[in-house]
Amino acid sequence: MMEDDFYATIKFKNGEEIFCKVSACEEEEKTILLVSNPIIIEEIKGRSGVLGYKLEPWLKTTTEDMFVVNFSDVLTMSESSDIEMIMLYQNYVRNLNHNNGGSTKNHKISKEMGYISSVNDAKDILEKLYKSK
């Protein structure tokens, strides 16, 4: 039996924390969670406090968007009604789906993006800077 989807923050027993859309269901006398597009949210802080948030995928080496989690691995879970967090999440998922839909732009590296050098060139430059001080 599957419950309705809801947005939640999940804290795992291993210390990881994710924000995602969750569906809970019972299978063979145990509870499993189906989590959709789980993300890690990191606060960006400045001198005046929190400036914003950095959103990253929970698992960075997969293109899957749905994961099965055993409820026994969960330390705590909190349903979210925070409109700001839900909007951030929805925008992230919308952008993720848009970029994976074939419209990804491949950017070529250019000098306008910053310094370009080989590891050895950068090492030589940094050593000269260090020795000159």
Condensed to tens digits (0 to 9), the pLDDT of residues 20-38 reads 999 988 888 888 999 999 9
Beta strands in the chain, from DSSP E residues, in sequence order? 6-12, 17-27, 30-46, 49-57, 66-70, 74-79
**CATH code of the domain containing 70:** 2.30.30.100
Q: Which residue has the higher pLDDT, 103 or 56?
A: 56
51-91 per-position pLDDT tens digit? 778 889 999 898 899 999 999 999 999 999 989 889 989 99
Rounded CA-CA distance 34/116 in Å is 43
Cβ neighbours of 18 (radius 10 Å): 22
On whether residue 56 sits in a domain, the answer given is: yes
On whether residue 31 sits in a domain, the answer given is: yes
Tally of domains in the chain: 1
For residue 35, the model assigns a pLDDT of 94
For residue 116, the model assigns a pLDDT of 62
Rounded CA-CA distance 40/57 in Å is 6
pTM of model > 0.75: no
Q: Is the pLDDT of residue 106 over 60?
A: no
Averaged pLDDT for residues 126-133: 79
Q: Which domain holds residue 74?
A: 6-102
For residue 110, the model assigns a pLDDT of 62
Q: For strand 49-57 and strand 66-70, is the pairing parallel, antiparallel, or unpaired?
A: unpaired
